[in-house]
Amino acid sequence: MEVETDNLSWMSQRIRGGEILKYMDGSRDFIAAADIPEKLRLARPPDGARLRGILAKSLAIQDLTLEETAALIQVTDPDHLALMRDTALKVKLKVYDNRIVTFAPLYLGNYCVNACAYCGFSRSNSDARRKVLNADELKKEIAVLAGQIGHKRLIAVYGEHPRNDVDYIVESLQTIYAFQVKTRRGVGSIRRVNVNAPPFSVEDLKKIHAAGIGTYQVFQETYHQPTYERMHPAETIKGNYLWRLYCMHRALESGMDDVGIGALFGLYDWRYELLGLVAHTQELERSLGIGCHTISFPRLVPALNSVIAPDWPYLVSDADFQRIILIIRLAVPYTGMIITAREKAAIRDAALAMGVTQMDASSKIAIGGYADCVSAQEKTKQQFILGDERSLDDLIRDLAARGYITSFCTAGYRCGRTGKCIMDLLRQGTEGKFCKLNAVLTFQEWLDDFASAETRRAAQPVLEQEIREIQAKMPSAYEQFRGYYERIKNGERDLYL
Ligand code: SF4
């Protein structure tokens, strides 16, 4: 495992101990303080009355405690599980109605100075062909994403490496936002770029924030420190558990509005990771006043050259994966929940009924994969294999058939409904008012610009139902909405309320 000398000096300057210690209460981090093993050990399946009490809190959009979450993990009674599923769907509908937000992942580079045991991009994988997109290559990717597929939101993914450093991130965000491309009836562009990147210092995070980032995403991978240390060699940056654990504290301090957390389920016992996620969002609320905007729950798949063998004891079954999704929805009722195309279509479709709010589609995870600047051989060397290869058009048609409207709305971020403001609106169920109006406007725009005839037909009943509901439930907003809607139909773009 060799590291270039230049990289060594860059690596040695990344971690700032003071930006960990200042957030810690004494010598124990918040995960150690949460005492998750003890909570799991003491948890018992709740009887009917206790279960209904816990679920009433979820329905009132209140966070569950770690003890309550641990109790839900213990539920095996089929009737109780059915009640949990029923409540999770009600919570989702109360906060997010029947909207699903779609996005695309965009991998900008696969250089990495780390050596995570489960990852094909590890620096020790000499088989991986390394690449970072330059500005022209990036524009080609956006031309496809915004001009042919019709995405408005990305999760831009950056490795931890000097070639993907903060200046590269800022420049790439500027390139993405500035790029416009002609569509069937208008102009397409990316309107919100969420960033999945390594942990940064407050100083670097301020620069990324100023470039107009949407959500800043960093996944802890595993909250179980001994497993974390086993998976991430100590001499790497990622080997520092606390630097990663406190990166969202730094992000919120730096002015970031929305942060997204996640765990790579399958590295350690899923029950522990689930409580770790809940403890993390509660810690952010307690110490910085804002919970997490989104939670992601990727599931580990053994990778090429990885130490994770198919008989690894913590790999998560489909049944347990569904329980994870269900319990996150109930424990953190206001949060956005992302299920990516790592999962098969059937798993993703089932997750809709358990409260998922965001899905990707037409996804490519090879570097340069959208503009097809990659060889078939490189495509086999991606970080993981996709389970759901539906196009955005296919996914939207499937969602419409189930009664879901796809929202391309990015208005909240652009008119200040972010951070604590959006959290409060979500808890009160008030954000839905804007979201419902903007979902219809942006959906109509996408249908006119990108949809196949078949998808336009499938979407029509959902669209008409939404418009009827707006007229009936929001009469004071209807007239303005109707005006905007007609302007969109006449070819104007990017109108929002
Ligand atoms: S998981 Fe991320 S940090 Fe770890 S080796 Fe892969 S790309 Fe690098």
What are the CA-CA distances from residue 146 to residues 151, 208, 437, 450, 496 (Å)?
Answer: 5, 22, 22, 10, 18
Show Cβ contacts of residue 129 under 8 Å, excluding neighbours closer than 6 positions.
378, 381
Distance CA 293, CA 384 (A): 25
pLDDT for position 496: 83
> Looking at the structure, do residues 104 and 60 belong to the same domain, yes or no?
no
> Looking at the structure, do residues 188 and 44 belong to the same domain, yes or no?
no
> Looking at the structure, do residues 41 and 162 belong to the same domain, yes or no?
no
pLDDT for position 217: 98
Between the CA of 103 and the centroid of ligand 1 the distance, in Å, is: 22
Last residue of a domain, one of 49, 67, 87: 87
Would you say residue 224 lies in a domain? Answer: yes
Last residue of a domain, one of 363, 390, 417: 390
> Looking at the structure, do residues 233 and 212 belong to the same domain, yes or no?
yes
CATH number, domain of 307, equals: 3.20.20.70
Domain that holds residue 200: 5-28+98-390
Would you say residue 37 lies in a domain? Answer: yes
> Looking at the structure, do residues 83 and 201 belong to the same domain, yes or no?
no
Show Cβ contacts of residue 317 under 8 Å, excluding neighbours closer than 6 positions.
none
> Looking at the structure, do residues 309 and 238 belong to the same domain, yes or no?
yes
Last residue of a domain, one of 87, 115, 130: 87
> Looking at the structure, do residues 217 and 238 belong to the same domain, yes or no?
yes
What are the CA-CA distances from residue 282 to residues 249, 261, 335 (Å)?
Answer: 12, 12, 12
Would you say residue 455 lies in a domain? Answer: no
What are the CA-CA distances from residue 242 to residues 18, 261, 276 (Å)?
Answer: 11, 15, 14
> Looking at the structure, do residues 228 and 279 belong to the same domain, yes or no?
yes
Q: Give the pLDDT confidence of 228-270 residue by residue, as tens digits.
A: 999 999 999 999 999 999 999 999 999 999 999 999 999 999 9
Between the CA of 383 and the centroid of ligand 1 the distance, in Å, is: 9
Between the CA of 111 and the centroid of ligand 1 the distance, in Å, is: 9
Q: Indicate the DSSP class of residue 164.
A: G
Distance CA 433, CA 470 (A): 9
Would you say residue 129 lies in a domain? Answer: yes
Would you say residue 82 lies in a domain? Answer: yes
pLDDT for position 7: 83
> Looking at the structure, do residues 37 and 149 belong to the same domain, yes or no?
no
Would you say residue 431 lies in a domain? Answer: no
Among 130, 160, 220, 229, the mutation site with the greatest number of ligand 1 atoms within 8 A of its Cβ is: 160
Would you say residue 136 lies in a domain? Answer: yes
> Looking at the structure, do residues 270 and 189 belong to the same domain, yes or no?
yes
Tokens at 199, concatenated: 């942990």
pLDDT for position 265: 97
Instruction: Please list the rounded mean pLDDT of every run of 10 residues in the chain (497 residues).
Output: 71 91 92 98 98 98 97 98 98 95 96 91 84 96 97 97 96 97 93 97 97 96 98 95 98 95 97 98 95 95 67 93 98 97 96 96 93 60 79 97 95 67 63 81 96 98 96 92 94 86
Distance CA 276, CA 425 (A): 25
Q: How many CB atoms lie within 10 A of CB 325?
A: 22
> Looking at the structure, do residues 61 and 152 belong to the same domain, yes or no?
no
Would you say residue 211 lies in a domain? Answer: yes
pLDDT for position 280: 98
Is the whole-model pTM more than 0.85? yes
Domains identified in the chain, total number: 2
Which atom from ligand 1 is nearest to the alpha carbon of 110? 7
pLDDT for position 429: 59
- Which protein residues touch ligand 1 with a CB less than 6 Å away? 112, 114, 116, 119, 121-122, 159-160, 238
Distance CA 363, CA 187 (A): 21
> Looking at the structure, do residues 343 and 239 belong to the same domain, yes or no?
yes
